[in-house]
Amino acid sequence: MSSASPFVFLPKFAFAAIDDDMLCNPHCKSCSHLHLSKDESLALKLSYLQARLNPWASFIDPVRSVDDDNRMHYRDKVSLAMQFNGSTWQIGMLRRDILIPVFGCPIHTHRVNEVMNLIARYLPDNNTIPAVRFIQSGKQLTLVIKSNKLPENGWMTDEFTTAFFQAGMEGLWLHLFPSAGKKVFGKGGWHLVLGAPESKDNDGLLYGPAAFRQLLPLLADEALNEATTFLNPDNKSIVADLYCGTGGSLRKFTATGATATGVELFGESVRFAALNAPAAKVFRGTCTQRIPQLNQLLHQNPGKTRLLYANPPRTGLETGIIQWITNEYRPMRIAYLSCNALTLRHDLALLTDYGYTVNKIIPFDFFPQTRHVETLSLLTLKKEEGHP
């Protein structure tokens, strides 16, 4: 181990074989359900949600998942730590400043595992390229470099380039971030050093190296279809799409003829949302910051049915935006996709206090083999005199 490294490294030989092409480091605790059956895992997730969302436990459906063939090798988006141990690169999880290598992870797609091995094999030592993060999003790879100087690219030989593209990759970025640490990305510093700057997913949606993407497209499509069916948008409705990501939901809503406006904080996602859903208006910023633009949507569409779709981060809905939803917008129907049952409980309590009824909560197993579970909550506004 390099004396300059602040991390402890666990040896690669600590991995345990799960199958002929799968290795699992027993020190990695990310997949706590790996040795449970599918039914056991889903039962635990349902029990967890029923406890955390106790006031609405009777409205929770069974957890929806994918078939057994899709419960392994599904993770095509990863953000992993990198450290050079004096002779080779290690890539993996950080636990209390201990780097746990995850080469051959059974949850990662074969593409992710192949590219990790390529980088570990070809990347020069950390004195030449001080890489600290390996971030792969589908066909786009980013190496975060703890420097403000772009390193030489002589290590990208013809052999490496051929192998990179044969692995199904389309773009390689170096992100210069001199103060890299707990924060993954800095402002600016993006350099495309190989291939194309963007890719398309199986649904034809454009994405870049850092935009958020769901890991199980079939299950994500099912959740969005459920939300769309419940909201029932048409040319007589308006949809506020909060935390709209790269615009997959916006594209779905505008296809029905509805007027839709999206809000997203991350600049790359905003750019792709505008491309993926050209019929929608997309604004960058926090949802609370964009309340004036959302109110403009109301003023420009008087008499239309108001609908809301929200897919916030783990912190849940912002206080300011909940106040706007409950006091000003007052949508007739809400579809709320949550990745955190604790913040969801808080938000549902506020929404029900202000006249909303929970119709159904549908859990989705977006992260098989782990303890994580996401939920789609469907709510309607009790009839109010004078409300459109």
Looking at residue 17, its pLDDT comes to 45
Query: Over 60: is that where the pLDDT of 352 sits?
Result: yes
Query: Over 80: is that where the pLDDT of 3 sits?
Result: no
What is the mean predicted confidence (pLDDT) over 298-315?
95
State the CB neighbour count (10 A cutoff) for residue 167: 17
CATH number at residue 254: 3.40.50.150
Local confidence band at 20 (pLDDT 50, 70, 90 cut-offs): very low
Which phi and psi (to 5°) does residue 291 adopt? -60, -40
What's the N-to-C CA distance of the chain in angstroms?
A: 67
What is the mean predicted confidence (pLDDT) over 349-362?
97
Task: Decide: 377 and 361 in contact? Cβ < 8 Å.
Answer: yes
The more confidently predicted of residues 222 and 186 is: 222
Amino acid at 199: S
Local confidence band at 63 (pLDDT 50, 70, 90 cut-offs): very high
What is the mean predicted confidence (pLDDT) over 176-189?
89
Query: Over 60: is that where the pLDDT of 11 sits?
Result: no
Amino acid at 46: L
Looking at residue 36, its pLDDT comes to 93
Q: Are residues 371 and 255 in the same domain?
A: yes
What is the mean predicted confidence (pLDDT) over 143-172?
96
Looking at residue 183, its pLDDT comes to 86
Give the position of tokens 């007739």: 332
Query: Over 90: is that where the pLDDT of 95 sits?
Result: no
Local confidence band at 14 (pLDDT 50, 70, 90 cut-offs): very low
What is the mean predicted confidence (pLDDT) over 221-250?
97
Which phi and psi (to 5°) does residue 73 adopt? 50, 45
* Tokens (6 digits) for 371: 């303890």
| Cβ within 8 Å of residue 382, ≥6 positions away | 355, 356, 357
Overall number of domains in the chain: 2
Domain of residue 81 covers 8-30+75-207
Q: Are residues 181 and 156 in the same domain?
A: yes
What is the mean predicted confidence (pLDDT) over 147-175?
96
Query: Over 90: is that where the pLDDT of 23 sits?
Result: no
Query: Over 70: is that where the pLDDT of 175 sits?
Result: yes
Percent of the chain past pLDDT 70, that is, above it, reads 93
Query: Over 80: is that where the pLDDT of 384 sits?
Result: no
**Among the three residues 148, 182, 207, which one is the final residue of a domain in this structure?**
207
Query: Over 60: is that where the pLDDT of 340 sits?
Result: yes
The more confidently predicted of residues 385 and 161 is: 161
CATH number at residue 95: 2.40.50.1070
Amino acid at 266: F
Looking at residue 321, its pLDDT comes to 97
197-210 confidence digits (pLDDT tens): 999 998 999 999 98
Q: Are residues 237 and 192 in the same domain?
A: no
Q: Are residues 88 and 20 in the same domain?
A: yes
What is the mean predicted confidence (pLDDT) over 376-386?
80
Looking at residue 8, its pLDDT comes to 41
* Tokens (6 digits) for 294: 């959302």
Looking at residue 110, its pLDDT comes to 95
Q: Are residues 253 and 195 in the same domain?
A: no
Query: Over 80: is that where the pLDDT of 7 sits?
Result: no
Q: Are residues 222 and 356 in the same domain?
A: yes
Nearest-5° angle of CA 346, CA 347, CA 350?
90
Give the position of tokens 């809301």: 308
Query: Does 107 map to a domain?
Result: yes
Query: Does 52 map to a domain?
Result: no
